[in-house]
Chains A and B, each alone.
Chain A
């Protein structure tokens, strides 16, 4: 089963491109700190050095003389961490709400879906800003805020899958074997509902990275951690004289978001049985 999916992913050019870009970013995040061990907040060189001006600062420095390359490595770590962690929270909450609602239906479903709708009607980004502002900006609050605002689509998706799956005969057959409800949900329904959740989670990672960059740009990032959004935010006043300060992290965000989108699309093609037949 999983081997077949892997084969499908490896046949998909978009998915491979996404996967390669992702591996590159992960390598930069992991290996970068060995080459650039400095503190991204320390003044490392003369301010406003353009990329290539000084071999010690290959990507230049900002107005405070902070090394942009060091900042980029730190930002890669933050982006990946926030992306994966908040997408995980979003999947966890979304699956729980969707699975319970779709499986039990009735008032459980009505109650959980009203909560879901509550979160859907509030503008996501505004809610994230409020949450981060209320609970002191940090990487952890950013992760939770982004996770909390992004779970409703997952919940809806899982619920609709469960509503269909619960009527399938193999669920009844598992019941005749004496399976309990939690076991039924975890071993019978969830594995069948998971493929679309994997796809939406890959796209959630991309959205989460964008949201984190936006929060940092607005100054709601972790004050102790240099993230891509922070670099853009700091450089926005010199965007005319020194566009590279905003440009370099901007391109990095573009590349990572693109990578996850391509990967999500590839996973969708690989996991969607209707598309196999074409």
Chain B
């Protein structure tokens, strides 16, 4: 399968007065056309910085310090500013968490979609406007001919998110980066937006990078997922395998914390003890060691590399990578459940 986007050993750092923050460190993943990769992790794990790095939207004091981002065979990190602008919005588009703040408050949504189209396509204002109406209609917005004149604050949350997707898709990008696209929406609308994204992906075969911390959403929409922890990818693989046979203790812990149906009533919900380390003073060795219950001497000395995992054999053909010296046996996941007596 040819790769649409392939990120290799990406490193993005922020130079603050208190020191260097390695927000993204040696992050590697790839997305094929028509595929959805979910980037999962808690707040501050580097998901959004990874997305911003792909579009080269890191501004001072941040800097992309290493690695390569191959998009259709072209290294985005080597492009000039004019060339990267031709990619943004045209070949790679992005949608945001809060559609209200992502729209210019003093322009109608139509004006903004027209602007987005005319940035990359040589069409007249009138043609672009007609396209905008068609796009809004495709996104399932009722009476698009009237809505197109509305200002962002006059639309409902779900409608705004649809309008933003319309704007992002106005130039038919090959890759869509969705940064927590449904976090600001209510549950019914969330499901509708996810359904819409899936439909659009099926229709035009674009790749999608879905950034989220909602594991339910990952299971629903993504084909593969990469789990990030403290700026690094700790595990990557197909959804089937990741959700049933997680190898990294952090992934296992995350899954255990949402798998509450298996628990007997009255038991305390499982959690991963401790909190994520500060990126300002990176610990030596595995960043997760502090919270891991399978920790051993090597974990404190070396950072485990993200290596291709051969086990278990029950999933032939699916490439699975894990960054752990002692990956858990899928049949014996050490669930960090605290007992009531403790």
Contact = CB atoms under 8 A, between A and B. Distances in A.
Contacts of B106: 1, 191-192
A16 interface: no
A175 interface: yes
Contacts of B96: 169, 172-173
B243 interface: no
Contact of A177 (B60, B93, B105, B151): B93
Contact of A191 (B55, B88, B102, B104): B104
How large, as a class, is the contact surface on chain B?
A: 20 to 34
B129 to A, nearest CB: 16
B43 interface: no
Interface in B68-114: 85-90, 93-94, 96, 98, 101-107
Interface stretch (B115-123, B207-215, B271-279, B329-337): B115-123
Contacts of B164: 173
Contact of B94 (A1, A106, A168, A176): A176
Contacts of A180: 85
Interface in A157-214: 168-170, 172-180, 183, 187-188, 191-192
B167 interface: yes
A55 B290 CA distance: 99
Contacts of B85: 178-180
B103 A173 contact: yes
B98 A169 contact: yes
B93 A176 contact: yes
B51 to A, nearest CB: 9
B57 interface: yes
A170 B101 contact: yes
Nearest to A174: B104
A58 to B, nearest CB: 49
A1 B108 CA distance: 9
A1 B104 contact: no
Given A169-B101, A178-B119, A192-B104, A1 B57 contact: no
Contact of A188 (B55, B104, B167): B104
Interface residues of A, number: 19
A174 to B, nearest CB: 7
A170 B115 contact: no
Interface string B169-209: 00000000000000000000000000000000000000000
Nearest to A192: B106
Interface string B228-247: 00000000000000000000
Nearest to B120: A178
Contacts of A170: 101-105
Residue among A174, A176, A180 with the highest chain B CB neighbour number at 10 A: A176
A179 B81 CA distance: 11
A179 B119 contact: yes
B88 A175 contact: yes
A191 B102 CA distance: 16
Contacts of B167: 177
6 contacts: A1-B106, A169-B98, A172-B57, A179-B115, A180-B85, A187-B104
Question: Which 5 residue pairs spanning A and B have beta carbons closest together?
Answer: A177-B89, A178-B88, A178-B89, A173-B102, A169-B101
Given A169-B96, A176-B89, 9 more contacts: A173-B102, A176-B57, A177-B88, A178-B120, A179-B115, A179-B119, A187-B107, A191-B106, A192-B104
